[in-house]
Amino acid sequence: MNFSKSEQLHTEALEHIVGGVNSPSRSFKAVGGGSPVAMERAKGAYFWDVDGNQYIDYLAAYGPIITGHAHPHITKAIQHAAETGILYGTPTKHEVTFAKMLKEAMPAMEKVRFTNSGTEAVMTTIRVARAFTGRDKIIKFAGCYHGHSDLVLVAAGSGPATLGTPDSAGVTKNIASEVITVPFNEIEPFKEALAKWGDEIAGVLVEPIVGNFGIVEPVPGFLEEINKHAHDAGALVIYDEVITAFRFMYGGAQDLLNVKPDLTAMGKIIGGGLPIGAYGGRVDIMEKIAPLGPAYQAGTMAGNPASIQAGIACLEVLKEEGVYDEMDRLGEILERGILEAAAKHGVTITINRLKGALTIYFTDQKVVNYDQAEATDGEIFAKFFKLMLEQGINLAPSKYEAWFLTTAHTEDDITKTLEAVDHAFKQL
């Protein structure tokens, strides 16, 4: 494959855009450097780059593109928004419709508020938890990523971990001292943290199914224990469902696992590809937010008609019978084929898969926490990533990310992908 136009563009981008990218995870730093491929066009499960190369896409824009690129139903909704006014700064009927849809899908969200990103949604759930409890500290889990607000850039996951800066410069020691980080999937350290700081903890923030050091499910009982001990200590439980909401089923990880948080943050899929975030939860907590209460959160673009209508259209597609079963079926074929190819070529891997999302770790160990994900082989991953890219398979350039299937992927795409995997493994 020829990437010369991408390379040229990256050289130019480096002169004008810091690091040549608008989000660090898009750079190829974590896979040994090089020019990230610049895409020009996307449709369904496919991408075409500026050099005219075609790819099967498993990045799905880091999660949001669950219906495939340029889905006609979503495109129509965006066109309608463009033609009827892109931004009003007033209430609209669409945001009420959408809030009702989210509540129906996730009943723990008794009241909802829309934001422009997952970062904002999570950031505000923390503020609201503090306003409600009158306490300052939060507990989070190592390797979970919750956006780039100050408080959660402490031992954060995929992006920062990949770049080797779990604590961002510019986050003050005072702020970091308000965050307690404990390992995911281990209840004892969590209980110890509560025993030590229990009456200072406003909230416990967790990705109920992790997406940021690969796909990692909670061990049975883990989330239930978090709920119990957090509530006993008077702290709120906040689920960050920015990746997981509508990823594995129509609803959240909370519905799949039958556990209820006090507050939920989401983003990605619910915007159908346009910028969005949302948070919600128990009504008595949500009433702390302005204009009803003293906790402030706002946004010029929040609830904008385009994102909301794209989000409604996206959920309409996801409501259709069988879409999640099909992503699960293709995910299973993909997983099985990758494992077979690994066995054939003597490549050591572990796969974590939940329905249409999976991560390949180059390790012989199980991966249930961040330390285990970190210990997997990044150099082999980097080689694998590039071998796949050269064969027209677009993955995220980090060993900590997931492959995401969409409703647009077909069995034929999986077959082609498995041929590429076979070829890549042969060369590792």
94 scored as a contact of ligand PMP (CB under 6 A): no
Region class of 185: left (phi > 0), else alpha (psi between -120 and 50), else beta: left
146 scored as a contact of ligand PMP (CB under 6 A): yes
Query: Which of 151, 153, 243, 367 touches ligand PMP (CB under 6 A)?
Result: 243
CB of 276 to ligand PMP, least distance (A): 8
How many residues belong to the site for ligand PMP (CB under 6 A)?
16
Answer for the pair 301, 87: CB distance below 8 angstroms, yes or no: yes
From start to end of 274-402, where are the E strands?
A: 277-281, 350-354, 357-361, 393-394
399 scored as a contact of ligand PMP (CB under 6 A): no
122 scored as a contact of ligand PMP (CB under 6 A): yes
Q: Which position's Cβ is nearest ligand PMP? A: 118
Choose between 143 and 392: whose C-beta lies nearer to ligand PMP. Answer: 143
281 scored as a contact of ligand PMP (CB under 6 A): no
Choose between 201 and 242: whose C-beta lies nearer to ligand PMP. Answer: 242
Q: Is 426 a catalytic residue?
A: no
Q: Is 114 helix (H, G, I), strand (E, B) or coil?
A: strand
Choose between 203 and 277: whose C-beta lies nearer to ligand PMP. Answer: 277
Stretch that binds ligand PMP, among 4-12, 114-122, 162-170, 305-313 (CB under 6 A): 114-122
Region class of 366: left (phi > 0), else alpha (psi between -120 and 50), else beta: beta
Query: Which of 9, 108, 123, 242 touches ligand PMP (CB under 6 A)?
Result: 242
CB of 291 to ligand PMP, least distance (A): 24
CB of 170 to ligand PMP, least distance (A): 17
Other CB atoms within a 10 A radius of the CB of residue 344 amount to 11
d(CA 53, CA 41): 10
Answer for the pair 121, 115: CB distance below 8 angstroms, yes or no: yes
57 scored as a contact of ligand PMP (CB under 6 A): no
Tokens standing for 335?
Answer: 């997983």
Choose between 119 and 369: whose C-beta lies nearer to ligand PMP. Answer: 119
**Which residues, listed in sequence order, are joined to residue 182 by a DSSP beta bridge?**
141
Q: Where in 206-235 is the site for ligand PMP (CB under 6 A)?
A: 207, 211-212
Amino acid at position 16, single letter: H
Q: Is 383 a catalytic residue?
A: no
Q: What is the 3-state secondary structure (H, E, C) of 390-420?
A: HCCEECCCCCCCCEECCCCCCHHHHHHHHHH
Query: What CA–CA distances, in Å, run from 200 to 74, 134, 151, 224, 289?
Result: 45, 9, 16, 21, 21
Choose between 124 and 212: whose C-beta lies nearer to ligand PMP. Answer: 212
Q: What is the phi/psi pair of residue 120, to 5°?
A: -65, -40
Choose between 216 and 414: whose C-beta lies nearer to ligand PMP. Answer: 216
Choose between 118 and 311: whose C-beta lies nearer to ligand PMP. Answer: 118
Choose between 251 and 392: whose C-beta lies nearer to ligand PMP. Answer: 251
Q: Is 288 helix (H, G, I), strand (E, B) or coil?
A: coil
66 scored as a contact of ligand PMP (CB under 6 A): no
Rg (the chain; Cα; Å): 21
Q: Is 239 a catalytic residue?
A: no
273 scored as a contact of ligand PMP (CB under 6 A): no
Answer for the pair 230, 204: CB distance below 8 angstroms, yes or no: yes
Q: What is the phi/psi pair of residue 15, to 5°?
A: -75, -25
Tokens standing for 344?
Answer: 């054939």
CB of 160 to ligand PMP, least distance (A): 11
- Identified catalytic residue from 145, 279, 324, 400: 145
> Crossing angle of helices 323-345/411-427, nearest 10°?
20
- Identified catalytic residue from 49, 57, 240, 328: 240
Amino acid at position 319, single letter: K
Q: Which residues contact 344 (CB under 8 A, 6 or more apart)?
A: 422, 425
404 scored as a contact of ligand PMP (CB under 6 A): no
Stretch that binds ligand PMP, among 204-212, 219-227, 248-256, 326-334 (CB under 6 A): 204-212
145 scored as a contact of ligand PMP (CB under 6 A): yes
CB of 244 to ligand PMP, least distance (A): 8
Stretch that binds ligand PMP, among 44-52, 117-125, 133-141, 406-414 (CB under 6 A): 117-125
Q: How many residues does the chain have?
A: 428
- Write out the catalytic residue numbers: 145, 240, 268
Contact residues: ligand PMP, CB under 6 A: 62, 117-119, 122, 145-147, 207, 211-212, 240, 242-243, 267, 277
